[in-house]
């Protein structure tokens, strides 16, 4: 009876702890002599499910006028992926969301509908709602400093002047989250950066885009199945 009471004392805390604290809780249960398989199984199940859930965020602006612009490559990648996997987006709170299952893992695709400058609001909401850690989130964004179609996946970094990343960094209070930068190049005249970023792809870029989008889809799968470091090794520089 004494052991049972001690175990029950810790039970209410299970729903408040993050994945990286689960082992501590399990150790405490064992230390205080809990013999309840159910309690330990609940901890294991919650830990397992949260570790197997991923959030892929594509950055962009809502509205038909932005669909084919360079700044919306994050949306473009997710739309391509969803089409290839035959899944659909549903409009939910702060964004359009689709769910994809692969080998026991759940991948949530998010296109924030907050406009680019407030992307962090949607990112934070869905991370908290789904109990997804930063390490299991990948943000897809355009990058002027990379040549067209170049891929650079990083574990952390500055916002690089990108307003979407800047807002995510502000609301998460961190620069340490995985991001996938898709190069759009800097082939614009002085003073024309905004027009270029919000402009549509050139004919030459459009012809090459599908091959780049196909690789981007493989990156999403690799991130969920092989992890960030392996994905970086496989795809950076391709």
The reply to whether 196 sits in an annotated binding site is: no
Question: Encoding tokens for residue 155?
Answer: 């574990």
The reply to whether 80 sits in an annotated binding site is: no
At 182 the three-state DSSP class reads: strand
State pTM to two decimals.
Answer: 0.79
**What are the sequence ranges of the domains in the chain?**
2-51, 53-235
CATH superfamily for 53-235 is: Peptidyl-tRNA hydrolase (3.40.50.1470)
CA distance 77 to 217: 7
Residue whose pair of structure tokens reads 């965020």 in the numeric block? 57
Residues 142 and 70 sit within 8 Å (Cβ to Cβ): yes
Range of lowest pLDDT (94-98, 139-143, 156-160, 174-178): 156-160
pLDDT of residue 38: 47
Range of lowest pLDDT (7-11, 119-123, 129-133, 188-192): 7-11
Q: List active site positions.
A: 71
The reply to whether 115 sits in an annotated binding site is: yes
- From 122, 148, 159, 139, select the one nearest 206 (Cα to Cα): 148
The reply to whether 177 sits in an annotated binding site is: no
15-56 tens-digit pLDDT? 344 444 455 445 444 544 555 554 444 444 454 555 689 999
């Amino acid at each position: 009876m004494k052991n049972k009471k001690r175990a029950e004392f810790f039970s209410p805390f299970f729903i408040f702890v993050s994945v990286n604290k689960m082992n501590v809780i399990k150790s405490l249960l064992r230390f205080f002599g809990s013999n309840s398989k159910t309690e330990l199984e609940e901890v294991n199940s919650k830990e397992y499910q949260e570790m197997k859930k991923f959030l892929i965020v594509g950055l962009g602006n809502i509205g038909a006028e932005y669909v084919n612009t360079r700044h919306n490559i994050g949306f473009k990648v997710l739309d391509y992926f969803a089409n290839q996997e035959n899944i659909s987006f549903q409009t939910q709170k702060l964004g359009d969301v689709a769910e994809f299952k692969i080998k026991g893992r759940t991948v949530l695709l998010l296109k924030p509908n907050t406009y680019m400058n407030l992307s962090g609001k949607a990112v934070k909401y869905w991370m908290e709602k789904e109990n997804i850690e930063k390490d299991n989130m990948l943000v897809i964004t355009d990058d002027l400093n990379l040549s067209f179609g170049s891929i650079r996946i990083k574990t952390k970094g500055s916002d690089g002047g990108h307003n979407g990343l800047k807002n995510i960094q502000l609301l998460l209070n961190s620069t340490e989250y995985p991001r996938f930068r898709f190069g759009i190049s800097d082939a614009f005249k002085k003073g024309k950066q905004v027009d270029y970023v919000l402009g549509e792809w050139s004919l030459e870029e459009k012809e090459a885009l599908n091959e780049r989008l196909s690789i981007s889809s493989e990156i999403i799968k690799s991130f969920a199945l092989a992890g960030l470091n392996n994905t970086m090794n496989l795809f950076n520089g391709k």
